[in-house]
Amino acid sequence: MTALYEVQVRTDKGNVREINEDAVGTVLDWRMTLHLDDKVLAERGHLFAVADGMGGHAAGEVASRLGIETVFRAYYGEHRRPLAEALTTAIATANEVICQQAAATSDRTGMGTTLVAALWRDGELLVANVGDSRAYLFREGQLHRLTRDHSWVAEQVAAGLLSPAEADHHPYRNVITHSLGPNRNPEPDLFRLRTQPGDRLLLCSDGLSNLVGDEEIATLLAAYPLDQAADRLLGRALERGAPDNVSLILVHFWQTPRRANRRRLVLLLVVALMVLALVLGQELLKRRSAPPTPTVLAQTPSSLTLPTSSSAVIPPLAEPVLVAAVQLGPEATTNAGERFGAAAAVTVGRPLPDRYVVFVRGVVDDVRVSGDGLTIALARRQQDGRGHRYVVTLREPWPSEAEPVAAGAIFAVVGRPVDEADREGDIALEALAVLAGDGRQGPLRTLWRSEMGHWPQDYAAQWVFTTYGEGGAAVLGVPTPIGFDGLPIALWGGWVTTTADSPQVVFRPIDRTPYEWTDAVYRQPDN
């Protein structure tokens, strides 16, 4: 059977708790136990779930285990109900089982668990959550939170009584309002959306989401293959003390199954007949009065709409950020001499060595100190899931007052390509500047800048070779077309540096229509 997705699971008791009160479950864990063959999975879908137990010591562990076990057994034991109804019924059954167990044993009175579950079938994802365990979807370089926390703090934020910043540090942020167990509200929220190849689903307990922010999650998912991304997410929580258990499930969807069925064929036939009737009746419709305004159906809160890629607009894959020749269109020849050398007089030229830089933002994967200076490696991930690194060398010392350079830190680098790196697949850069910040909450902060380079003060504009999306163009304020995330782009623009105590850098594109990778060269679009 063709692989539809890849799954990675991580769970850890953390650095403080004596036992792990989280529980995780995937359809792969239960396939043999519940005798789930391909036919059952095609009909009932693929289920994944994370539960975070409450009640202290063994009670929380029992509640989360019962929650996962009951949901899987009850859901796949039901073959007639629609999927959403079957999933909510399975969650209700899990609540009843936990309540019965809590009533039967005195030391388990009051035990409960959160639950976040995701059911995937035919490219449709159904997500249910009770409590503050979360579901995220990573698509085209953007991280989307699918669920809403059932917590007192989240309700205060929704009511406008607390700001998100205040909620992050509020003493009551762990007080939840929904969960499975006695005397609690067990009603789940349901969310439905379509997936597309390349999407990544993250289910996690609050032991991860309380310590690793959305921006960091997005950066790690963009930088690493799935197994390494799972390791990095867990490792980031453990590095920060992990006062709670930490659990996560990562799913990378490779493709969407296509299944022809009678209902679809009938629908296509009906549509064809409607189109035929529309063509035949065109003259008659012209003679009639204008048709009424179409009714717009309000979108329910449980239906999520995320960006959808169109394969028709994705250019050919290319090696990331290799400085290639730039083919000029007729509209781009003005002032070409400012951008190119002698070759500027012809159709194709190459940027002057002083006139191009590479910009990349990513996770520090490695740090080395040698006679050449400080070398850091930034991890990135290509569209096909393979990883590569930008190996950046700093020729001057790192300032003692700047943020320390350590594995796991997130930096942006402006540099020039140099000779081939030692490791195959690495892209070697000589750093001109190291920056911090995501570029969306304000300018990038300058942490380190070379005294030997010519950036940015010597030139009003430069070619900036980068990639579409979170690690490149989006940070520089250039929006990413749907389907282009991770692909190369060349920008022509200028850098503006403030003179504040903490120098900040802003990139301002001069050509609002960027040069794109087409036919093996960077060029300006024909339109």
Q: Tens of pLDDT along 35-45?
A: 999 999 999 99
Q: Give the pLDDT mean for 175-183.
A: 86
- The Cα–Cα gap between 172 and 183 comes to 19
Q: Give the pLDDT mean for 308-322.
A: 39
- The Cα–Cα gap between 17 and 57 comes to 9
Question: Given a cut of 50, is residue 204 above it in pLDDT?
Answer: yes
Task: Show Cβ contacts of residue 290 under 8 Å, excluding neighbours closer than 6 positions.
Answer: none
pLDDT tens digits, one per residue of 88-129: 999 999 999 999 999 888 788 889 999 999 999 999 999 999
Q: How confident is the model at residue 318 (pLDDT cuts 50, 70, 90)?
A: very low
- The Cα–Cα gap between 463 and 491 comes to 6
Q: How confident is the model at residue 237 (pLDDT cuts 50, 70, 90)?
A: very high
Distance, first Cα to last Cα, the chain: 44
What CATH class has 11-253? alpha beta
Question: Given a cut of 50, is residue 2 above it in pLDDT?
Answer: yes
Structure confidence at residue 24 (pLDDT): 97
Structure confidence at residue 257 (pLDDT): 56
Position with higher pLDDT, 235 vs 479: 235
- The Cα–Cα gap between 427 and 382 comes to 13
Position with higher pLDDT, 137 vs 105: 137
Q: What is the residue-averaged pLDDT of the chain? A: 77
Percent of the chain with pLDDT strictly greater than 70 = 69
E-strand stretches of 171-303 = 189-194, 200-204, 246-253
- The Cα–Cα gap between 297 and 223 comes to 39
Query: Exposure of 194 by Cβ count < 10 A (0-12 exposed, 13-18 middle, 19+ buried)?
Result: middle
Query: Burial code of 168-185, b = ≥16 C-beta within 10 A, e = fewer?
Result: eebeebeebbbbbbbebe
- The Cα–Cα gap between 326 and 322 comes to 12
Question: Given a cut of 60, is residue 414 above it in pLDDT?
Answer: yes
Position with higher pLDDT, 278 vs 32: 32
Specify the pairing of strand 444-449 against strand 246-253: unpaired
pLDDT tens digits, one per residue of 337-370: 666 654 444 445 667 767 788 898 888 888 888 7
Question: Given a cut of 60, is residue 286 above it in pLDDT?
Answer: no
Query: Exposure of 525 by Cβ count < 10 A (0-12 exposed, 13-18 middle, 19+ buried)?
Result: exposed
Question: Given a cut of 50, is residue 265 above it in pLDDT?
Answer: no
Structure confidence at residue 514 (pLDDT): 55
Place of tokens 């990378």: 252
Closest CA to 23 of 230, 188, 250, 248: 248
Whole-model pTM?
A: 0.72
Structure confidence at residue 241 (pLDDT): 92
Position with higher pLDDT, 523 vs 134: 134
Structure confidence at residue 55 (pLDDT): 77
Question: Given a cut of 80, is residue 34 above it in pLDDT?
Answer: yes
Most confident segment among 149-163, 177-191, 488-502: 177-191
Q: How confident is the model at residue 14 (pLDDT cuts 50, 70, 90)?
A: very high
In the structure encoding, which two tokens stand for residue 271, read together? 């549509």
Domains of the chain, residue spans: 11-253, 326-523
Question: Given a cut of 90, is residue 231 above it in pLDDT?
Answer: yes
Q: How confident is the model at residue 313 (pLDDT cuts 50, 70, 90)?
A: very low
**Pair 242, 10: CB distance under 8 Å:** no
Position with higher pLDDT, 257 vs 430: 430
Position with higher pLDDT, 276 vs 239: 239
Task: Show Cβ contacts of residue 408 under 8 Å, excluding neighbours closer than 6 positions.
Answer: 232, 235, 236, 239, 363, 364
pLDDT tens digits, one per residue of 55-92: 765 689 999 999 999 999 999 998 889 999 999 999 99
Give φ, ψ of 287 to 5 degrees: -80, -15
Structure confidence at residue 28 (pLDDT): 94
Percent of the chain with pLDDT strictly greater than 90 = 33
